[in-house]
Amino acid sequence: MTTTISLKLHTIVPCAVGVRAGGNSEKIEQVNEFVCLGSLFINHGKHDRDIGRRVNAGNKLNGALLAIMNSKSVSRQTHLAIHNGDLIPTLIYGSESWVWKKKNESRINAVDMRSLRSMCGVSQKERCRYSDVRERCGLKEDVVTITERGMLHWFDYLERMNEDRLTKQIYRVNVCGEKGNKGRSRKSYADHMGSILKKGTILSTRNR
């Protein structure tokens, strides 16, 4: 049997985004959220909870690696390899399509900072700025810059994608009829990309 998970979107026009799994007959189940390929999809389209899942995963990994990162018998090069090869990918997995806020950046930074402090032997009691700790570890970029470079790389890929691709069609669609809360309008994906570009801190989307 084929099971299609249909995500109920908060729109006036009935919409569905589905994930299908093997079989001949078909069963449709409507849900408010589901996890696919490690990312959380929610019907209101916000990314706070998905980012929260990555933060929790990063904190768990930090705890598991604490003894290694605190060990003086392990070289700095090995520490950096673990940090860049394990923690960062865990922390920013699926981040290319995120639309985040300052509070999300702060949470991601906090997890990264915990790892770097352990690596450099800097306690929380020491009032050491994030940029100083990063410099002591030999890192030029923070995790936010790395994440936003990935976002811009995906944005560039979307813009160059063939128009007949389903991904491109979804990207081009403006979902209408959402009942938002009073006050400031919700930040769109295009607005988010524009705000990153305005910073002018990322000159290339190539990994460094």
Would you say residue 208 lies in a domain? no
Instruction: Note the pLDDT of residue 140.
Output: 87
205 located within any domain: no
Q: Within this chain, do residues 56 and 126 fall inside the same structural domain, yes or no?
A: yes
Of these ranges, 22-26, 52-56, 71-75, 98-102, the one predicted with the greatest mean pLDDT is: 52-56
Residues 13 and 92 in one domain: no
Domain count, the chain: 3
The tens digit of pLDDT for each residue in 56-87 reads: 999 999 999 999 998 989 999 999 999 999 99
Model confidence at 190: pLDDT above 60: yes
Same domain, 14 and 70: no
Predicted TM-score (pTM) of the model is 0.77
**Residues 131 and 52 placed together within one structural domain of the fold:** yes
Q: Domain for residue 56, yes or no?
A: yes
Q: Is residue 130 part of a domain?
A: yes
Please check whether residue 206 lies inside any domain of the structure.
no
Q: What is the pLDDT of residue 77?
A: 92
- The residue range of the domain holding 116 is 48-141
Buried b / exposed e along 160-191 (16+ C-beta atoms within 10 A): eeeeeeeebeeeeeeeeeeeeeeeeeeeeeee
Flag whether 9 is in a domain. yes
> Do 58 and 25 fall within a single domain?
no
Instruction: Report how far residue 71's alpha carbon sits from residue 34's, in angstroms, rounded to the nearest whole number.
Output: 39
